[in-house]
Structure 1
Amino acid sequence: MKKHQPTISAFYSRKRRIEETETEESGTVFHANVSHPNELPKCVSSGRSLQNKWLERYSWIVVNSDGSCRCSTCCWAQENGRIASVHANAVKRSPWFLEKNGWKDFRKGMNSIEKHAQAKYHNEAENAMNIGLNESANISRIDRRVEQFQKSNRVAMSAIIDALRYLGECCSAIRGHGDEKQSSNLWRLIRLLCRYNPTIKQYFDDDTATKFVSPDIQNEILSIISNNVTRVLIGNIKTQSRGEQHMSSVFSIIIDETSDLSNLEQVSVCIRYATDQLHSNEVFLGFYETSKTDASTLRKIVDDVLLRFGLNIQQLRGQGYDGGSNMSGKITGLQKRISDDNCKALYFHCTGHQLNLICQDACAANPLVGQAMGHINKIINYIKESPKRWAAFQCVVFEGSLPNTKKIRPLCPTRWVMRLASIDAVLENYENLLDFFHSASEDTSFPAATRSTALSFLDSLQLFKTYFLLRVLQRLFSTINPVHVKCQARDITIGEIQKLMNFLAQTLSCDGSSMANAKLFLEEVKTSAIALKLDLPALPRRQRSRNVEVDDYYMDIYKNVMQSATKAVTERYCSKSITIASKLHALLVEPNFSSSEVLDISNFYAPDWNPREIQRERLQWFARCESGNIVPSIEALQKEMSNNSSLRTLAPNLHTALITYVVLPTSSCEAERSFSMLRRLKTYLRSTQTQKRLNSLAIIAAHQSVAEELDINSITNEFVSHTQTRRNRFGVTV
């Protein structure tokens, strides 16, 4: 007969039966040292009772529920396979193994008990039980030591994971060069933790055990953390509030690409969705390395992203890209390829890119403006490229300016609106520039070519035309810049963008069409030029023979730039997607929106909502606004819908339309933010890191608050559960 190992629960069960007295529904167990003369059972045939002295002498006697007795030692041995097969017949005949109708011949009680106590199988059962109890005690001691060992190791492993998470959130380098224990930020952080935690110090002082801090382990841990962050983000997208009428989560996708320090093309993918408060939010989901940026390759990347995160392309409601032909192409562009599969996925050209193009169009309308900007860029580079010239200019600034004077900075090569800061700095340091170039042109310590260049720059800055054109650029960019800053918000809606663009067009049109405004601007520039002791306004040589007044010439330049900007705003911010978004906005906030137009926009988004039902819900909403003195607006509807569950239940179609409107993209600024983070992560000293490690670090750094709230215990469990060696070393806790 195959012997079975005793279970620890059986050992403790036997111990409790011997040492404790319990009263259960099934019967009563008597302790040997307790006398129960009134409760001891009697033999029906002989009338003899079970004796207390028998229980005191033989502790293995247990009373069954029917008044009979059994041997607890033999029963345990039989249950655990500890009785040899040669005793099988004796066991079958013996009543000491029965929980019912067991031994109850109390007439010859002592003789029967002693006979059973001397039986060979009973002695073997007692020996087996004693060995089992000793094994149980040993196992218990070993378990406690293993538990303590795993607990201390787990503290150190959690510290390693937390240190990696912290470094990832800070965009800090993890590994060093040379001896990692001396140079890497991870080891420096670990040594800092060891100073204040002896458990962690003991773990790392043990030179015989693996520390689990190798580069591969680091990559695995970072991947686990980033995957957990991504699960939270995708969970937020998929569990957005939808009212009682169920509808799969709608969203928009935002994509942009850039080259990193290793000259690899990185595609940034972001998702825009509606929060529980019905405000929009944009989240970065990762970089994707690609060797091509054609529309076909980008479409494969989009399909891979949606499949990987479990998002349905039929729930896509918006596409936010730049104006490149591979993105915005109407025949084979990415937006066209996606629109062919889902016509409700509207393409919106990034507002920030459009504002930059508006600035370019306005400057291209007058070549003098573009020339002035290029000339200023040369002046800035002339000063910044030489440490000696930069130090000389700083001395001029220190002697003749206020402490808070802006420092000159190069023009932004890509974002035209961002050049406002450079132009402001040049105009604020205009007098310092004049003084610097005057002194540099006469300083014999500079080479002759340098002095000649300084003299030419001085002559150009002395011209009224140069100063005037810079002031025109400053006025143009300062008018556009507030809109550019506002459109970068994650929660701004397409309706707010439309209002800003309309207001911008009106402002530029007013400046460009009003002769009074142009004249006022010219007088302000003249006053400033006189204070700087610049040359008087003069006509170019070609204009002198045309009988043109000097003031009219400069006012025409100002008006031409503003009118060109107005035209660019009107022409560029006009598309089919903007028209549909305007109708959707009117559906939500305009009481006079006609039934036919409601039907048109509802048919376009069918079957997202019912045209008749949404018309009824609109009437109820506007009646509620009228009775509650509420001005119908997107903000008011968002507030009422998010705070009032009854309104969401009674108006599910209006709720769905609001969410669709909220998720429409306004810009690709979220992707641009990820590029700024990419420059911090992939530096000259970190240019060889793998794409997987880069992506993990990028997700952790982009969503620091989400990573900070992750449960470190669950991350440790996920890491430990990958191999049996880790489970033995660290254990898995609940």
Structure 2
Amino acid sequence: MYEVVFQCFETIVETSKNWDSETLIKAKGFISCLANFEVLVSFVVTKNCLRYLKQITVSLQQRSRDILSAYTEIQTVKSYLQDMRNEPEGYFEVMMEEAKYLAEGIGSEPSVPSQCKRQTLRNNTPATSVTEYYKRSVLIPFLDHLLNELNSRFSKHSQLVSQSLLLTPQVLVLSKTPDLPPGLQELSQMYKDDMPCIGSLTSEYHRWYKKWTSEDSPTDHKLPSTGIETLHACNGGFYPNIFALLKISCTPPVTTTEYERSFSSLKLLKTYLRSTMTSDRLNSLALMHIHRSTEIDKSAVIDQYATAYNSRMKLSTTDFLG
């Protein structure tokens, strides 16, 4: 894909008479950027490190049962990335081979930025080879940043609170765990001051499990599948501790990373015909699609266009719109 994008911009430059000056300037800038070996190495490092997070991000956008699996897998990914950070040599050798292969495909040569005694615009990373330079300046800082973000977003507290999803009926039925899970025990101890009667949590859980796994319980597709739905279905008088845990679980944002709906609308609009080098036209179409209730005066639109671009066309009347 990297080579294809590079060749696309080269084609634009080679067929310059078919493009305006602004497009040509941007295409030449992109070619210069993509041919930069430092950018190429950064691309390879980012791709190879983030691919371990792909399935987790997909699972976190699903329902409760998938989120629990994702939180379990996060620790495995963090451990693997930490191993890569501690001993990066073997991993980075493979990445450098890929970067050199891509560089050869686009006619670029492996190189490092010039060194000087006093650097003010970037880090003056000491290194004796190209591989060592990019390992120190690209891979290690990126892994440090990635691990810090993962530890911040998926802290011990957030992973523990996610265990409250075991109380949602859909997960409860699938898990088939009639005894109180250790994760819920640990969570209740963390919030013991907020629990009405922590000593009766085990018996509450037994009754809660029986309630949703009995033969007269709703079918699977009708069972509550989120913390909010479960909270509404929980009688706080009969299950005070479970009700408290559900309220706690609904407070931190640990149950979903679903995208905003405006992105869904934008995706419907982004076609090959509408995608251009600038985003003005696409943004305008997006606003028209999202805000359907807004009435648009067609005559005013054409009058404004005719005034702004009177050298291109003459529109003396808009009666044909009537």
How many angstroms does 1:570 deviate by? Answer: 1.0
How many angstroms does 1:553 deviate by? Answer: 1.1
Asked if the contact 2:201/2:241 (under 8 Å) is kept, the reply is yes
Equivalent residue in structure 1 for 2:60, among 484, 487, 490? 487
Note if 1:529 corresponds to 2:108. Answer: no
State the partner residue of 1:4.
none
The separation in 1 between residues aligned to 2:125 and 2:183, in whole angstroms, is 60
Q: Residue by residue, what CA displacement relative to the aligned partner does 1:142-174 show, whole Å, maximum 9, x if unpaired?
A: xxxxxxxxxxxxxxxxxxxxxxxxxxxxxxxxx
Note if 1:612 corresponds to 2:187. Answer: no
State the partner residue of 1:432.
7
The separation in 1 between residues aligned to 2:159 and 2:57, in whole angstroms, is 21
Note if 1:540 corresponds to 2:113. Answer: yes
State the partner residue of 2:272.
none
The separation in 1 between residues aligned to 2:125 and 2:262, in whole angstroms, is 55
Q: Which has the higher helix share?
A: 2
The separation in 2 between residues aligned to 1:674 and 1:645, in whole angstroms, is 42
Q: How does 1:275-314 map to 2 (within 5 A)?
A: none
Q: Which amino acid aligns with 2:293?
A: R
How many angstroms does 1:565 deviate by? Answer: 0.7
Note if 1:673 corresponds to 2:238. Answer: no
The separation in 1 between residues aligned to 2:195 and 2:111, in whole angstroms, is 60
State the partner residue of 1:566.
147
State the partner residue of 2:191.
601
Distance 1:688 1:490, change over 3 A: farther
Note if 1:467 corresponds to 2:40. Answer: yes
SS in 2 for 1:567: helix
Q: How does 1:313-392 map to 2 (within 5 A)?
A: none
Distance 1:497 1:641, change over 3 A: farther
Q: Which amino acid aligns with 1:589?
A: P
The separation in 2 between residues aligned to 1:451 and 1:471, in whole angstroms, is 27
Distance 1:446 1:602, change over 3 A: closer
Q: How does 1:233-252 map to 2 (within 5 A)?
A: none
Distance 1:654 1:453, change over 3 A: closer
How many angstroms does 1:480 deviate by? Answer: 3.2
State the partner residue of 1:551.
131
The separation in 1 between residues aligned to 2:288 and 2:23, in whole angstroms, is 39
Q: Which amino acid aligns with 2:4?
A: N
Structure number, greater radius of gyration: 1
Structure 2: tracts of 5 or more residues without a match: 117-123, 167-178, 218-233, 267-285, 297-322
The separation in 2 between residues aligned to 1:674 and 1:438, in whole angstroms, is 35
The separation in 1 between residues aligned to 2:28 and 2:264, in whole angstroms, is 38
Asked if the contact 1:463/1:534 (under 8 Å) is kept, the reply is no
Q: Residue by residue, what CA displacement relative to the aligned partner does 1:280-323 show, whole Å, maximum 9, x if unpaired?
A: xxxxxxxxxxxxxxxxxxxxxxxxxxxxxxxxxxxxxxxxxxxx
How many angstroms does 1:528 deviate by? Answer: 3.1
State the partner residue of 2:282.
none
SS in 1 for 2:260: helix
State the partner residue of 2:214.
644
Q: Which amino acid aligns with 1:486?
A: S
Q: Which amino acid aligns with 1:605?
A: M
The separation in 2 between residues aligned to 1:672 and 1:662, in whole angstroms, is 22
How many angstroms does 1:566 deviate by? Answer: 0.4
- How many equivalent residue pairs? 237
Asked if the contact 1:513/1:559 (under 8 Å) is kept, the reply is no
The separation in 1 between residues aligned to 2:149 and 2:111, in whole angstroms, is 30
The separation in 1 between residues aligned to 2:106 and 2:250, in whole angstroms, is 54
The separation in 1 between residues aligned to 2:84 and 2:164, in whole angstroms, is 32
The separation in 2 between residues aligned to 1:660 and 1:447, in whole angstroms, is 58
The separation in 2 between residues aligned to 1:652 and 1:687, in whole angstroms, is 48
The percent identity for this pair of structures is 15
How many angstroms does 1:554 deviate by? Answer: 1.6
How many angstroms does 1:658 deviate by? Answer: 7.2
Q: Which amino acid aligns with 1:613?
A: S
SS in 2 for 1:541: coil
Note if 1:590 corresponds to 2:182. Answer: yes
How many angstroms does 1:513 deviate by? Answer: 2.9
The separation in 2 between residues aligned to 1:579 and 1:473, in whole angstroms, is 25
SS in 1 for 2:109: coil
The separation in 1 between residues aligned to 2:125 and 2:259, in whole angstroms, is 53
The separation in 2 between residues aligned to 1:518 and 1:503, in whole angstroms, is 20
Distance 1:683 1:564, change over 3 A: closer
The separation in 2 between residues aligned to 1:666 and 1:583, in whole angstroms, is 10
Superposed CA RMSD = 4.7
Structure 1: tracts of 5 or more residues without a match: 1-425, 622-636, 690-734
Equivalent residue in structure 2 for 1:502, among 58, 66, 75? 75
Equivalent residue in structure 2 for 1:519, among 93, 101, 105? 93
Q: Residue by residue, what CA displacement relative to the aligned partner does 1:367-387 show, whole Å, maximum 9, x if unpaired?
A: xxxxxxxxxxxxxxxxxxxxx
Q: Which amino acid aligns with 2:2?
A: L
How many angstroms does 1:567 deviate by? Answer: 1.3
Q: Residue by residue, what CA displacement relative to the aligned partner does 1:394-437 show, whole Å, maximum 9, x if unpaired?
A: xxxxxxxxxxxxxxxxxxxxxxxxxxxxxxxx526235236415
Asked if the contact 2:45/2:139 (under 8 Å) is kept, the reply is yes
Q: Which amino acid aligns with 2:199?
A: R
